[in-house]
């Protein structure tokens, strides 16, 4: 059996290779839409004396909100001394896990495409290649389910912490009589929402890809051969 590199573009025109190209692209879009994100929410404080104050809440990847200061130390707001206050919540573990899965999926898709385009003759002549491919494809499908769900929950934590209700519960001043707090400018979270959508889209694509990889394994070929043998039935005896 020849094991050298032989460029063959035909696998890309088949579902097995084409889906890998789609996986490569959607993985890039998944981590590209949330990694490096920066935004700000503006909190307006309406004081009982008629004046108002403005605070800025900064949202940055990986969304460790408890490290972002909403109020500097020894600040006077609405003629009241306000202690240093941080935002509440930490979504770093969920978003970093999501990005890690996306990057690993991106790298594996490229490696698989290299095998399909240059070593498909080796891939299909052995049991190891398709079986290994199926195991990793199934693992990535599961990882996309877990990471997309975790990041969806983490994103909701970010939204809750930086909304009006979250700010009211975080900043004690907002609960004083005669003081009203309201988030008047919201950071656009469209890209973050899109990243969650791409997470679940990747889940569907990788689950579908597992079927095409399964068809390359001996399990599928044995099943097909058994069905064909059953369909032919026992051979007719000649008299």
Orientation angle between helical segments 92-118 and 190-214, nearest 10 degrees: 40
The model's pTM: 0.85
Give the pLDDT score at 120: 85
> Is the pLDDT reported for residue 232 higher than 80?
no
Selected residue with higher pLDDT from 151 and 80: 151
Domain ranges of the chain: 10-226
CB 122 within 8 A of CB 129: yes
CA separation for the pair 56, 75 (Å, rounded) = 14
Give the pLDDT score at 81: 87
> Is the pLDDT reported for residue 227 higher than 90?
no
Task: Work out the pLDDT band at 18, boundaries 50, 70, 90.
Answer: very high
Sign of CA dihedral 109, 114, 117, 120: negative
> Is the pLDDT reported for residue 224 higher than 70?
no
DSSP 3-state of 181: strand
> Is the pLDDT reported for residue 143 higher than 70?
yes
Task: Work out the pLDDT band at 237, boundaries 50, 70, 90.
Answer: very low
CB 48 within 8 A of CB 179: yes
Tell me the pLDDT tens digit for each residue of 19-55: 999 999 999 999 999 988 999 999 999 988 778 889 9
CA separation for the pair 95, 63 (Å, rounded) = 8
Structure tokens given for 34: 């949330």
- For 21, the enclosing helix (H) or strand (E) is helix 15-32
CA separation for the pair 31, 38 (Å, rounded) = 14
> Average pLDDT over the chain, rounded to whole?
87
Structure tokens given for 3: 């094991």
> Is the pLDDT reported for residue 226 higher than 50?
no
Tell me the pLDDT tens digit for each residue of 178-216: 889 999 999 999 999 999 999 999 999 999 999 989 888
At residue 181's C-alpha, the angle toward residues 176 and 186, to 5°, is 160
């Amino acid at each position: 059996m020849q094991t050298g590199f032989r460029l063959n573009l035909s696998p890309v025109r088949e579902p097995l290779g084409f889906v890998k190209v789609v996986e490569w692209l959607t993985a890039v879009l998944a981590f590209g839409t949330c990694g490096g994100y920066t935004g700000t929410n503006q909190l307006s404080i309406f004081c009982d004396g008629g004046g108002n104050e403005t605070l800025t809440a900064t949202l940055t990847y990986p969304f460790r909100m408890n490290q972002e200061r909403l109020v500097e130390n020894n600040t006077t707001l609405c003629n009241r001394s306000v202690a240093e206050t941080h935002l509440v919540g930490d979504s770093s573990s969920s978003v970093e896990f999501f990005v890690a899965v996306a990057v690993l999926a991106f790298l594996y898709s490229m490696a698989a495409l290299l095998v399909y385009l240059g070593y498909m003759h080796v891939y299909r002549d052995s049991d190891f290649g398709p079986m290994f491919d199926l195991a990793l494809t199934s693992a990535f499908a599961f990882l996309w389910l877990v990471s997309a769900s975790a990041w969806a929950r983490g994103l909701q934590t970010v939204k809750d912490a930086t909304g009006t209700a979250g700010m009211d519960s975080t900043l004690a001043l907002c609960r004083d009589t005669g003081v009203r707090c309201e988030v008047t400018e919201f950071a656009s979270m469209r890209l973050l929402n899109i990243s969650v959508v791409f997470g679940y889209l990747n889940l569907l694509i990788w689950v579908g890809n597992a079927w095409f990889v399964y068809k390359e394994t001996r399990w599928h070929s044995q099943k097909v051969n058994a069905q064909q043998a059953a369909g032919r039935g026992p051979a007719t005896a000649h008299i």
